[in-house]
Amino acid sequence: MTKQLTLTIDGVQVTVPEGTLVVDAAKMAGIDIPVFCYHPKMEPAGNCRMCLVEVGRPVIDRATGQAVMENGQPKIQFMPKLETACTNTVSEGMVVLTQTEKVTEGRKGTLEFLLTSHPLDCPICDKGGECPLQNLTVEHGPGKSRFLYDEKQHLAKHVPLGELIWLDRERCIQCARCIRFQDEIVGEAVLGFEARGRMTQIISLSEPGFDSVFSGNTSDICPVGALTTADFRFGARPWELKASASICSQCPVGCNTTFNTRREAKAGGEIVIKRVMPRQNEEVNEIWMCDKGRFAYHYAESAQRLVKPTVRQAKASWTDAFDLVTQTFEASKSDVVVLASGRLSNEDLFNLKSLADGLGGKSILYTDMGGGNLTAQVGVGQGTDLGKLGKGDTILVVASDLYEEAPVWYLRVKQAADRGATLIVANSRHTKLERFARYAIRYANGDEVKTVADLQGDSKIAQEFANAQNAVVFFGSDGLGLNGSANLAAACAKLLQDTKHVGKANNGLIGVWQRANDQGAWEMGFRPEADLASAFKNKIVYIVGADPAGDDPALALALKGARFIVVQDILETLTTHMADVVLPAQAYTEREGTYTSGERRVQRFYAAVPVHGEAKADFAIAGEIGRRLGLNTENGSAMVTFDRLAASVKDFAGLDTNKLAEVKPQWPIVGRGDLYYGGTTYENKQGLGVQLSTAAERGEAVSLPEVRAESALRPREDQLLAVPVTKLYDRGQTVASTELLTQRIGEPTVSLHPETAKRLGVAAGGRVSLAFNGLSAEALVKIDDTISAGVVLVPRSMGLAVREPVSVQVLGLAEAKVS
């Protein structure tokens, strides 16, 4: 327990832990000290001088070490000048005055200086209306400037830092929040200051510009309108926007978000999403989110949206579509195969599972990653918060590139490592997280299980893992397919079980899934199937929220063997083109529901925009089909479905909408009331979600599968092995519709070892042709000297269908001649 100190701020007695900054202590007492450069998530910089206050400390008698008393009170000595509240830590008996004339004058002076070259173009500034500089100037500013108008600096107003973030140099007040965010929190120093004095400017140090997946956050914490996003540029004024709470559906982190919506003439008078902002949840995403979540929401308004059911590719009514589907299902009950993906909500998956079970059919999870049954047993316990891991704790990240797969987990794991947690990164190649790892293990492809098993030995790393206070293991599918990742998960589960790091908070297994609600799908009883082709043969296939035909030509071929295909999706895909019946579903922006995150936190999202066309929610469609087949499935309300789910799925027992909506005070205090402090992040008023308990936690018997030594195919001497890796910005349906990200998505690029590249006669940026699984494709080449010479890294969802490690023939292509 840290020592508690008592001080007086404006006559209010405050007791705070030792080491607290004066500005934070005041905030805790409800007293606002204005700041620009200080941010509660970052180290103080003390460069804006806005937080100047009068600080007095008790006079201590050197001889006795006691406070000198005066009229029965300790004698307080005030410093002759103002001090910065953001760099001074509190001390016992300190007296802080924030409202005196001296302080008011100080604030006036500071603002007068900050505004010397500010363009005062608030009317056209995207920050105008939620701008700390604007608000604090109104509250504390001098009203008039003594500086000469003609001597104002005129600087570039439209500088692209990257293609996602614009910089307005005139508005910048050099607080360095953006630079410090990138340095301290993300660990990617891609921004910096150039020149000095009045010439100081923010520049991007990376190529391509602002090369970070967290760039959008800098615009949130920018206290002026210097950094704005290209996506929201002149989109609306902040006061015109309506806020709807949601959960990001791009990855298993489950970041809490807020959709800002507005009716728009450009969109034909529809209510549309104008921007996505993070919503505070200190146990999930703190106040951050990644650029994919922030900018890739456009797919829900894509022109490819399905708006009307079709029967045999002709437009039909819902009644006709339901009739045909019901008849077909009725006629061949146990031949129905439901293939659903983790893009769906818990309610959708519950109804689909109920439907499949009611018919006696099969339910398959569409994924290339296994191990979800283990996270339910030895997953992280209730109350897990990566933000609490630090000294004495260990985090193992194995076969996962968190930066690309789940950026906010990367951020939080990196910060845990900064706080002193032992980070072990095990992968077959270099990943960005490795830089912060105390131990980086580089294994050969195929040695994943062995690597994890070796952590149960006498080695230093093994000892450190075993003796850790808390240990969390992230496992992924980097370079692995379904079987490989399932084996790896089993090995990780065994490691945790044997070292007794299960069944309690901040301990356990986390799957870095490929889709947002894969964990939820496992909870509902969906299981992946290694051989989808034979599962489709002669069956009635009901595909929901997945595009197998588009992902893999082999699966398109396999689907031809199905007797009848029903596809339920939000966008037109190759699979919908093959379908007998297409049922248009609502996007998650148009409906409510819940997702289960990778940390097994159930969180609720709400409808933000009106429904596209005649689309219906996935759970409602499945529920309606179920009803028509005589099953008692809910087809109306998502939350009624959730209640039924909670009543029948054991791990969800006792959950209800009230529990999901519970909030508690969070630090730092953010919200619309004081944007200057935490940024424009939204306050969480809609619920922090509930983490599910694990079997180990409930004291139930944990049955782990046997660990098989061989985890995946190994490269052989004479051949190359193509292994799949995940890219953040890929050509998946949920990303590709966003034009702004086109440049980041880029061309399909495979990584080769320099020696392999040399042998094939290609250089970085050259082209190769790949032949695997009877398919051939072309791709650009990137050189990565950290991978093994026997493998080729192939990105997922980029048009190269490598679902499992597979042997590949690679040929270097000569540069195409310009004809």
Residues that bind another protein (CB under 8 A): 119-121, 123-124, 128, 149, 154, 157-158, 233-237, 239-240, 264-266
215 membership: H or E segment, kind and range: helix 215-221
Query: CB count, 10 Å around CB of 237?
Result: 14
In angstroms, give the least distance from the CB of 301 to another protein: 16
Burial class (CB in 10 A: 0-12, 13-18, 19+), 671: middle
In angstroms, give the least distance from the CB of 811 to another protein: 45
Residues 515 and 588: beta-carbon distance below 8 Å: no
In angstroms, give the least distance from the CB of 190 to another protein: 25
Please state, in angstroms and rounded to a whole number, the distance separating the CA atoms of residues 443 and 491.
Answer: 15
For residue 209 the two structure tokens come to 């510009």
Residues 174 and 200: beta-carbon distance below 8 Å: yes
Q: In what order do the strands lie in the sheet with 593-596?
A: 593-596, 601-605, 690-691
In angstroms, give the least distance from the CB of 239 to another protein: 6
The nearer residue to another protein, 3 or 158, going by C-beta atoms, is 158
The nearer residue to another protein, 62 or 239, going by C-beta atoms, is 239
53-72 burial by CB neighbour count: b if 16+ within 10 A, else e?
bbbbbbeeeeeeeebeeeee
Residues 502 and 694: beta-carbon distance below 8 Å: yes
> CA 304 → CA 275, 307, 308, 310, 616, distances in Å?
21, 9, 12, 14, 16
The nearer residue to another protein, 274 or 343, going by C-beta atoms, is 274
Residue 67 Ramachandran class (φ > 0 left, ψ -120 to 50 alpha, else beta): beta
The nearer residue to another protein, 264 or 674, going by C-beta atoms, is 264
Please state, in angstroms and rounded to a whole number, the distance separating the CA atoms of residues 602 and 130.
Answer: 31
In angstroms, give the least distance from the CB of 128 to another protein: 8
In angstroms, give the least distance from the CB of 801 to another protein: 40
In angstroms, give the least distance from the CB of 115 to another protein: 14
Please state, in angstroms and rounded to a whole number, the distance separating the CA atoms of residues 316 and 273.
Answer: 29
Query: CB count, 10 Å around CB of 636?
Result: 12
In angstroms, give the least distance from the CB of 225 to another protein: 12
Nearest to 373 by CA among 507, 522, 530: 522
The nearer residue to another protein, 125 or 570, going by C-beta atoms, is 125
In angstroms, give the least distance from the CB of 204 to another protein: 20
The nearer residue to another protein, 237 or 563, going by C-beta atoms, is 237
Residues 796 and 485: beta-carbon distance below 8 Å: no
The nearer residue to another protein, 128 or 746, going by C-beta atoms, is 128
The nearer residue to another protein, 168 or 683, going by C-beta atoms, is 168
> CA 613 → CA 246, 308, 309, distances in Å?
21, 7, 10
The nearer residue to another protein, 222 or 704, going by C-beta atoms, is 222
The nearer residue to another protein, 207 or 234, going by C-beta atoms, is 234
The nearer residue to another protein, 119 or 209, going by C-beta atoms, is 119
Please state, in angstroms and rounded to a whole number, the distance separating the CA atoms of residues 66 and 639.
Answer: 63
Please state, in angstroms and rounded to a whole number, the distance separating the CA atoms of residues 792 and 801.
Answer: 13
In angstroms, give the least distance from the CB of 129 to another protein: 8
For residue 596 the two structure tokens come to 């289960």
In angstroms, give the least distance from the CB of 124 to another protein: 4
The nearer residue to another protein, 61 or 121, going by C-beta atoms, is 121
In angstroms, give the least distance from the CB of 123 to another protein: 3
Please state, in angstroms and rounded to a whole number, the distance separating the CA atoms of residues 317 and 411.
Answer: 47
773-797 burial by CB neighbour count: b if 16+ within 10 A, else e?
beeebebebebbeebbebbbbbbbb
The residues near 669 (Cβ < 8 Å, ≥ 6 apart) are 27, 677, 678
The nearer residue to another protein, 265 or 314, going by C-beta atoms, is 265
In angstroms, give the least distance from the CB of 564 to another protein: 47
